[in-house]
Amino acid sequence: DSSSLYEKEKYPHRRLNNYGGLGGKYDTRVYPAKSLCSHCGLCDTRFIHYVKDSCAFLNQHIGELEYAVHGKERDLEKENELYFGVHLDMLAARMKQPLQGAQWSGIVTTIATRLLETGKVQGVVCVTNEESDRFQPKPILATTVEQIFASRVNKPTLSPNLSVLDAVESSGFTRIAVIGVGCQVEALRSVQSRLGLEKLYVLGTPCVDNVTRKGLDKFLRTTSSSPSTVVHYEFMQDFRVHFKHDDRVIGGNGKRWEETVPFFGLKTNELKDIFAPSCLSCFDYVNSLADLVVGYMGAPFGWQWIVIRNETGLEMLDLISSQVETMPLSSSGNRKQAVQNSIPAYDQGMTLPMWVAQLLGVVIDKLGPKGLEYARFSIDSHFTRNYLYLKRNHPNILQRHVPEYARRIIEQYHLPQ
């Protein structure tokens, strides 16, 4: 029973492993979602009592929660809602003065800071890293601007952000913000009414292809030519992975080296097992239940993509209106054939020679999907891949776990058996 499990494992985060959660045999023994657990942190708190109804992998109930949070479910007949969820508006934005060391221009960190400075919240749940390891996540309830600043940049590893919910409860705070990805936010929304809060601001990012800490090492070793110096990476809209290196590696321009590797050059056969099973089973790429989502994939290269889901989201974005420049989103190209081609290529673990990958990267960057069509390309590719993964590995949950919007998206493609 889940409560006794919690008693036994009262301080699990003392034994953080490469999952950012419990190690080895505990990963499957303790956490109720077993191999599908994303180590969102809920089960490291007393809220494990509600795991059966709250866990994104045990009880996918995005539609019901969309209604509770935004006052409506997404309209599946409108393409933008089908893909990007309930929203009042979407736009491209970037900080006029980019925040040094942030993942993109630092919109998330700046909003979180403003929430605290303006007294709208007393604390912000976010994730810093262990001192000894830049990629090892360390969730905190930040109460100072310095702590929020320290949480900037992605930790591209499963992160138990909700593990600080006990601290939130014992703080007595009634107004907080939580920064998180889809699976964390779904669990959070499920227990929100039990937190005794007057106001909760949920600032989300999209999330996909997250890895275990060990998987991250393999990804860096396999993909970057200088794995030990990588401080930051992102899969970008130009169909390349961009790796930023520390100052031990200087590029031709005299600045820190930015290495790029085309998506089509990734060693798919070797990388297939690095993504966490939770991320291979996820259909909430766009973080449907956050108030405001800050990503990049629907925006032009170099800009961030903002999805304002409700009035609370608008209130957060307003806090930084004088610090950002914005522009409308656009969409061009046609993703369909590229997605269809990617399905068997990934499934069979095909890897192209690097010169072919480079060439293909240049061509698709020039002629391929852009703006919102690029975002749809990424969503379609991941949903079809994840559907096949679930069908083959967890057929018993396929029916209840895949939301209707995802089924409609997947139905556009021909999938192998």
Cα–Cα dist 18/16, whole Å: 7
Among 179, 191, 276, 410, the residue binding ligand FAD under the rule CB under 6 A is: 179
What does the DSSP 8-state code read for residue 207?
-
Angle at 92 between CA 129 and CA 179, to 5 degrees: 30
| Interaction of residue 16 with ligand FAD, rule CB under 6 A | no
Q: Cβ of residue 38: shortest distance to ligand FAD, in angstroms? A: 9
DSSP string, 29-41: HTSTTGGG----S
| Interaction of residue 364 with ligand FAD, rule CB under 6 A | no
Closer of 208 and 364 to ligand FAD (Cβ) = 208
| Interaction of residue 60 with ligand FAD, rule CB under 6 A | no
Cα–Cα dist 286/293, whole Å: 8
Cα–Cα dist 299/81, whole Å: 17
Partner interacting with residue 42 (select from ligand FAD, ligand SF4, none; CB below 5-8 Å by kind) = ligand SF4
Q: Cβ of residue 220: shortest distance to ligand FAD, in angstroms? A: 14
Determine the interface stretch with ligand FAD among 156-164, 214-222, 351-359, 403-411 (rule: CB under 6 A): 156-164
**Could you tell me how far CA 261 lies from the centroid of its own chain?**
21
Partner interacting with residue 65 (select from ligand SF4, ligand FAD, none; CB below 5-8 Å by kind) = none
By C-alpha distance, which of 223, 201, 213 is closest to 294? 201
Cα–Cα dist 105/134, whole Å: 19
Partner interacting with residue 346 (select from ligand SF4, ligand FAD, none; CB below 5-8 Å by kind) = none
CB atoms closer than 10 angstroms to residue 47: 22
Describe the crossing of helices 311-318 and 107-117 by its angle, rounded to 10 degrees. Answer: 90
| Interaction of residue 305 with ligand FAD, rule CB under 6 A | yes
Task: Please give the structure tokens belonging to residue 136.
Answer: 């090892």
Partner interacting with residue 159 (select from ligand FAD, ligand SF4, none; CB below 5-8 Å by kind) = ligand FAD
Among 82, 208, 289, 364, the residue binding ligand FAD under the rule CB under 6 A is: 208
Q: Cβ of residue 201: shortest distance to ligand FAD, in angstroms? A: 13
> How does strand 292-295 pair with strand 199-204?
parallel
Closest-by-Cβ residue to ligand FAD is: 295
Among 38, 161, 163, 229, the residue binding ligand FAD under the rule CB under 6 A is: 161
Partner interacting with residue 55 (select from ligand SF4, ligand FAD, none; CB below 5-8 Å by kind) = ligand SF4
| Interaction of residue 87 with ligand FAD, rule CB under 6 A | no
Number of alpha carbons in the 13 Å side-chain half-sphere of residue 242: 13
Contact 258, 236 (CB under 8 A): no
CB atoms closer than 10 angstroms to residue 131: 8
| Interaction of residue 290 with ligand FAD, rule CB under 6 A | no
By C-alpha distance, which of 54, 36, 38, 34 is closest to 46? 54
Contact 187, 162 (CB under 8 A): yes
CB atoms closer than 10 angstroms to residue 391: 13
Q: Cβ of residue 81: shortest distance to ligand FAD, in angstroms? A: 17
Among 21, 41, 85, 156, the residue binding ligand FAD under the rule CB under 6 A is: 156
| Interaction of residue 155 with ligand FAD, rule CB under 6 A | yes
What does the DSSP 8-state code read for residue 396?
G
Q: Cβ of residue 150: shortest distance to ligand SF4, in angstroms? A: 24
Determine the interface stretch with ligand FAD among 83-91, 176-184, 186-194, 407-415 (rule: CB under 6 A): 176-184
Among 38, 59, 151, 287, the residue binding ligand FAD under the rule CB under 6 A is: 151
Residues making contact with ligand FAD (CB under 6 A): 102-109, 126-127, 137, 151-156, 159, 161, 179-181, 205-208, 210, 234-235, 294-297, 304-305
